[in-house]
Structure 1
Amino acid sequence: MSLDGKVAIVTGSGRGLGLAYAQELARRGASVVVNDVDAATTADAVAAIQASGGRAVAVTAPVGPTETAKELVNTAIEQFGRLDILVTNAGVLRDTVLWKMSDDDFDTVINVHLRGTFTTVREAVLHMRQAGEGGRIICIGSPTGQRGNFGQTNYAAAKAGIVGMVRTWALELKRAGITANTVVPVAATAMTATVPYFAAAVQADANGEPMPAFFRHDLGFGTSDDVAGLIAFLGSDAAASVTGQVIGVGGDRLQIWTHPEAALTAYREGGWTYDALVQAWPTEFAGATQSVGERFPELPEEFRPAAS
């Protein structure tokens, strides 16, 4: 099943994961609107897609403002005549601990990731509903939004918020035949390249070598291309029944994340008073509390960075 005749927008697709998504969609037959904030970067991305026989045009603008969302959708319609797939990938990082995070650090990340996803999806859906031919909304999440991560208050809030919006959109858009899903990629990127734990895998990828099996299988950590296949699948007619899901992918692993459910339910006639909780918490509730942060297996010795 191909994407021939389909038209896609991929935000933040000038390089990295976003470029891999755009290239895979084009390789499968879709025409693609590439987006980034740097004109040379978007031009290079379009040229790479065209050199491989694909169709692509560029929109150079920051994601977040409604004006950018309108430009992206209008470009898809004007250049290719329709819009079928939207992938919201654009993002920035401003990592620091809570007590050092400035208003600008917080607002910048929320504006690009969360508001940018909202404005772009809203504009795309306005067109898709009017066209009456369904559509595919694919929003990029993160393990940080699922479990939290030290130093990423802003990023965690944005990515968790995206998941909440996607679940809501899956309900609201069902009658229009528009699916909405979140993809949680785990891959070698500019961000993971700075983490010593991933150094051996990132170096292997940079050298054009296969990643060690520990990273691909045990950790579910891979390349951009390992994620791109899921993006294309969710954009296709084969995924018409898949909506409201959070799907993790990396290396050799694919995961469907659970939606939050109560881990324990207990009742007490008259309600849970302070005294009742003091007495009952250690025996009734403490065993059901949930962990936070990502949990990684111990790094095998052969992949540990050399001591400096």
Structure 2
Amino acid sequence: MDLTGRVAIVTGAGRGLGFAYASALAAAGAAVVVNDADADAAADAVARIADSGGKAVAEPGAVGPTAVAERLVERAVAEYGRLDALVTNAGVLRDRMLWRMSDEEFDTVIEVHLRGTFTCVRAAVRHMREQGDGGRIVVVGSPAGQRGNIGQTNYSAAKAGIVAMARTWSMECAKANIMVNAVVPVAATAMTATMPAFAPHIEAYQQDGTPLPAWLRAGEGFGMPEDAAGLVVYLASAESDGVTGQAIGIGGDRLSLWTHPEETTVSYHGGGWSADAIATSWQSTVGRNPQTVGIPAPVPPA
């Protein structure tokens, strides 16, 4: 995949998945603006990309405010003359059960994930429309946003909202030939490395390169950050022209397409539905196949 001449911004790219995305884009030939709230992490990421022969500059700042988003686009254009792709990866966690979650914990996660995605995409799309030759927007969702997850009211809400925005933007940006897609990655990061089923395998990989077992890579679709980077490179490329409005899962050996929410069962009642009519028919009509919630727990082989 050749991205020579293309320019990309990756938020939250100082480490983990964001660094994997930025590194892969640079390896494919793109010039990358590396953003991270941690200025030292952003600078280190740029140095590592340069050491591998890539082209990148650091533009630190916590996403959310409009000024940060606009500064990222301005830096890309000032440094490299254009903007072709944006990957909104930046995120934070403030996990807490609903009844214990504070306003600040809720607002912080929404600010970075949801508002940060909105302001960065808005700034990028405004420039891409003026530029006049299309573009690529890749936003980052999560299985928690698709299915919910205990202790993650704020995170689940933000990630669900990000995918919903991507669907809307894919329609709004179609005439400008701007493709908008959501990536739903599952990978070993600081957010997942402590999970008991994953921790020993991640530790073994990091210590001596022991490959993750097949039940994780294929069965759970769980891999290392670099396993998710190929999808981002593809979605940033000309090869993905026409692919838009999709939520695409990636992790380990698994590539998947998430369904959009849709009605699964429909029932009709002449004159409308009273509470009594719903109670009488629920189990035999729309309630006979209730939808599941939550991320299935990983099950190691016996």
Task: Give your verdict on TM over 0.5.
Answer: yes
Q: Does 1:276 align with 2:295?
A: no
Gapped runs of 5+ residues in structure 2?
Answer: none
The superposition leaves residues 245-277 of structure 1 with CA deviations (integer Å, 9 ceiling, x where unpaired) of: 000000000110011110101100011111111
Partners of 1:85 and 1:135 within 8 A in 2: yes
Alignment of 1:18-97 (within 5 A): 18-97=18-97
Q: Which amino acid aligns with 1:244?
A: G
SS in structure 2 of the partner of residue 268 of structure 1: coil
Q: Are 2:266 and 2:285, in contact at CA under 8 Å, matched by a contact in 1?
A: no
Identity of paired residues, percent? 59
Q: Give the aligned partner of residue 266 of structure 2.
A: 265
Structure 1 position 60, deviation (Å): 1.1
Q: Distance in 2 between matches of 1:289 and 1:297?
A: 22
Structure 1 counterpart SS, 2:193: helix
For 1:205 and 1:155, locate their aligned partners in 2 and report how far apart those are by CA, in whole Å.
28
* Distance apart, 1:197 and its partner CA: 1.7
Residue identity in the other structure for 1:145: G
Residue 193 of structure 1 aligns to a residue whose secondary structure is coil
Are 2:82 and 1:115 aligned? no
Counterpart of 2:300, as a letter, is: L
What's the counterpart of residue 197 of structure 1?
Answer: 197
Change (3 A) 1:267 1:220: same
Residue 289 of structure 1 is matched in structure 2 by 290
For residues 103-182 of structure 1, the aligned pairs below 5 Å read 103-182=103-182
1:254 alignment partner AA: L
Say yes or no: does 1:17 pair with 2:17. Answer: yes
- Unpaired runs of 5+ residues, structure 1, are 302-308
Partner of 2:211: 210
**d(CA) in 2 for partners of 1:282, 1:67:** 52
Question: In the aligned structure 1, how far is the partner of 2:41 from the partner of 2:298?
Answer: 37
Report the alpha carbon displacement of residue 297 of structure 1 after superposing the two structures with TM: 4.9
**How far apart in 2 are the matches of 1:77 and 1:297?**
44
Contact 1:201/1:215 (<8 A) preserved: no
SS at match of 2:33: strand
Partner of 2:59, secondary structure, is strand
TM-score, length basis structure 1: 0.96
CA contact (8 A) 1:188 1:205 kept: no
2:113, 2:158 within 8 Å by CA — same for their partners in 1?
yes
Q: Tell me, yes or no, if the aligned pair for 1:35 and 1:60 is still in contact at 8 Å.
A: yes
Output the TM-score relative to the length of structure 2.
0.98
| Mapped partners of 1:285, 1:179: distance in 2 | 36
CA contact (8 A) 1:92 1:112 kept: yes
Shift of 1:289: 1.4
Cα distance in 1 between the residues matched to 2:202 and 2:32: 28
Task: Give the Cα separation in 2 of the matches to 1:52 and 1:206.
Answer: 20
- Secondary structure in 2 matching 1:44: helix
- The answer for the alignment partner of 2:234 in structure 1 is 233
More divergent stretch after superposition (191-200 vs 91-100)? 191-200
**Aligned match of 1:305:** none
Q: Deviations over 1:92-136 (max 9, x none)?
A: 000000000000000000000000000000000000000001000
Partners of 1:187 and 1:251 within 8 A in 2: yes
Aligned to 2:185: 185
Deviations 1:33-70 (A, max 9, x none): 00111221111100001111111001111100000001
Cα RMSD (Å) = 0.9
The worse-fitting range, judged by mean Cα deviation, of 15-24 and 190-199 is 190-199
Moved over 4 A (4+): none
Q: In the aligned structure 2, how far is the partner of 1:282 from the partner of 1:18?
A: 46
Number of residue equivalences: 301
| Contact 2:265 2:285 survives alignment (8 Å) | no
State the SS of the aligned residue for 2:90: coil
Does the C-alpha gap of structure 1 residues 178 and 138 become closer, same or farther in structure 2, counting only changes over 3 Å? same
Distance 2:287 2:270 in 1: 20
